[in-house]
Structure 1
Amino acid sequence: MDFKKFLLLLLLAAIWGASFLFIRVGAPAFGPIALTAVRVDFAALFLVVMLLLRGGFKPLAGRWGKVLLVGVLNQAAPFCLFAYAELSLPAGITSIINATTPMWAAIVAFAWLGDRLNGLRIAGLLVGFGGVVLLIWQDIAQSSALGDDCLAALAVLAATLLYGISANMTKRFLTGMDSLAVATGSMIGAAAVLTLLALFALPTMPLPPSAWGSVLALGVVCTGVGYMIYFHLIATIGPARAVSVSFLMPVLGILWGVMFLDEHVSVTTVVGGAIIVLGTALASGFLKAPQRSVGQQRGGAGKDLPCHVDGR
């Protein structure tokens, strides 16, 4: 990976890491469903324009049903869960738990697609989930709002599980499709579902400019522009390297929370985050043991693990 591509990867991590900051600001004002609906509406409009500039909707012909379902699993439901979680969880902790996404993708690939899990990847799963337990136990379980924080943490884990399912669904049913077309079609599906739901969850009070600014940044920058950078990286450095953005996001997510929201970062948060990132890198096959034969390389490298598209 050359220096320019690394800078793009770092920029994407900064953009997607900032999404947790914007959710934290916007969710209390809009509410989880309304915030997510406006977010995906902005993102869908942006991506539709980009797709039209690329030639239109022809790549989606005959695939709309599966693409729309991916939109529900990969955008509509997870985005709502994140918005709900950040009503009580700090942005930094949410970004750390989000790093478990490739772990869930590995588990779903094993259970559904028969992807092999060798000893190192299984160890990574155990290490990663151990980090989640440590993080929840020390930084959440000691909170004065114990029940709310635990439910919020479970909501984030549910969102990352949905990311893992949708990544494998994309690999199973949408392999070979233009990635921008998949992103646009799935965002249209998410926007359709959430816009209908938002009609019953509209804010009743006037919204401050900070809330509107947050949702605009979420839709256009974090989701729309983020997707464009992500697809460019997939095309130029490959999905295995592009997915490493998941390991950089917690660092930037914590940084934005400290800089703009005055969030406190404990030693346990740092240690738990490092454990989660290590476990995820092992479970996803990003870190591998020395390979002694071609057979071992094909069996346990994890190079065919679906590249998750979470559209933060």
Structure 2
Amino acid sequence: MKAADLAELIVLAALWGASFLFMRVAAPAFGPVALIFVRVAVASACLLPILLWRGEARGLIDNWRPLLLVGLLNSALPFCLFAWATLSLSAGFTSVLNATAPLWGALVAYLWLKTALPFSRVLGLTIGFLGVLVLVWGKVSFKPGGDGWAIGAALLATLSYGIAANYSKQKLAQISPLLVAGGSQLAACLLLLPLAIWLWPAQPVAAAAWQASAALGIACTALAYLLFFRLIAHVGPSKAIAVTFLIPLFAILWGGLFLGEVLSTPMLLGGGIILAGTSLALGLWQFGAAKTASV
């Protein structure tokens, strides 16, 4: 990987890691649904002019059905679930749960698309989900004040990512990644609009929350999508997906620096196990392989 590509990978991880920080800041003021509506609306406003400039806007009409479903499964639903989870979970902890998305993606591909899973990937799935157990051990309480529902929401969000990734591969592989990004954000915006109007906060939202929501939409969504698709074009999906391993590191860093969050032993141990299992499940390394395999 060239130095420029590596730098973009690190910037992308920093942006997506910061998304958990910004949600922690803005979600209490907006509420999860209103916040995510602002996020996807801002991202749409950034991405749609680029689509128009490139002459790809017609694709929004031609592919509206799959784009609508991807907008629901890859943005509207998981973004709202994560925003709700951050009301009670730390940014670092939530980001480690987010790292399970590739595990769900591999499992969904096996169950739905009948994609073959060699032993190393089965082992990776097993190790990854054992890491989840280590991470949440002692925290899954559904009593008032417990974190069980928030943890469940975060894991449901990552499952939604896994379903969306496989659906996109089946239905949208032949169209521009930028069109998928812009179209899915627009679809998420339209889906969330009625709920956002209904659930819009009664009290004025503080400037800090508005700034955090703008950063979510511009930096952590629109810019991050452009960087991610640029990386896929330059280094391929198997290397671009390595961003998964860096996101929790930055989320924990930002949470510690700006929110005073503390890195706990279960987070460190569970996160390490999840990432090790993810690397196996993705086929990034295999037993006896001389070099990493592509996915």
TM-score range, shorter chain: over 0.9
Residues in 2 aligned to 1:89 and 1:201: alpha-carbon distance in whole angstroms: 22
Q: Deviations over 1:147-190 (max 9, x none)?
A: 3x111111110000000000000001111210001111111110
Q: What is the CA distance between 1:251 and its match in structure 2?
A: 0.5
| Residue 257 of structure 2: aligned partner | 259
Report deviation, 1:240: 0.9
Q: Give how far 1:267 is off.
A: 1.9
Corresponding position of 1:74: 74
Q: Which residue of 1 aligns with 2:238?
A: 240
Corresponding position: 1:5 with 2:24: no
1:29 is the counterpart of 2:5: no
CA distance in 1 between partners of 2:143 and 2:109 (Å): 38
What's the counterpart of residue 137 of structure 1?
137
* Residue 203 (structure 2) aligns with: 205
Q: Deviations over 1:37-96 (max 9, x none)?
A: 111100111110121222231334521111111101100000000011001000000000
Aligned twin of 2:218: 220
CA distance in 1, matches of 2:224, 2:110: 28
The correspondence of residues 151-300 of structure 1 with structure 2, limited to 5 A, is 151-291=149-289
Give me the whole-angstrom Cα distance separating, in 2, the residues matched to 1:64 and 1:177.
12
Deviations 1:271-308 (A, max 9, x none): 1111111111111111222249xxxx9xxx8744xxxx
The CA RMSD over aligned residues, in Å, is 1.8
- Identify the range of structure 1 (236-245 vs 50-59) with the bigger mean alpha-carbon deviation: 50-59
Q: Which runs of 5+ in 1 are unaligned?
A: 305-312
Cα distance in 2, alignment partners of residues 81 and 143 from structure 1: 17
Displacement of 1:23 after TM fit? Answer: 0.3
CA distance in 2, matches of 1:287, 1:303: 9
Larger CA deviation: 56-65 vs 81-90:
56-65
1:264 Cα offset (Å): 1.1
Number of the residue aligned with 1:111:
111
SS in 2 for 1:55: coil
Aligned equivalents of 1:159, 1:142: Cα separation in 2: 19
CA deviation digits over 1:177-208, x for unaligned, max 9? 10001111111110001111111101011111
- Relative distance call for 1:268 and 1:143 in structure 2 (3 A) is farther
Q: CA deviation at 1:145?
A: 5.9
Distance 2:158 2:191 in 1: 20
- Structure 2 contact 78–156 (Cα < 8 Å) conserved: yes
Change (3 A) 1:153 1:302: farther
Counterpart residue number, 1:308:
none
1:234 corresponds to which letter in structure 2?
A: I
Q: For 1:128-148, what per-residue CA distance to the aligned partner results, in whole angstroms no more than 9, with x for missing partners? A: 11111111115x34899653x
Distance 2:156 2:104 in 1: 10
Question: TM-score normalised to the size of structure 2?
Answer: 0.96
Tell whether 2:123 aligns with 1:97.
no
Task: Write the deviation string for residues 102-137 of structure 1: whole angstroms up to 9, x where unpaired.
Answer: 100000110111111111111111111111111111
- Per mean C-alpha deviation after superposition, the further-off stretch among 9-18 and 280-289 is 280-289
**Whole-Å separation in 2 of the counterparts to 1:191 and 1:106:** 28
Q: Any idea what SS the aligned residue of 1:107 has?
A: helix
State the distance in 1 between where 2:11 and 2:144 align.
34
> Using a 3 Å threshold, how does the CA distance of structure 1 residues 162 and 144 change in structure 2: closer, same or farther?
closer
Task: Show the counterpart of 2:122.
Answer: 122
User: In the alignment, which residue of structure 1 is the partner of 2:148?
Assistant: 150
| One-letter identity of the residue aligned with 2:150 | A
- Separation in structure 2 between the aligned mates of residue 56 and residue 303 of structure 1, nearest angstrom: 29
2:142·2:148 contact (CA, 8 Å) conserved in 1?
A: no
Corresponding pairs, count: 295
Q: Tell me the CA shift for residue 209 of structure 1.
A: 1.0
Provide the secondary structure at the position in 2 that maps to 1:41. helix
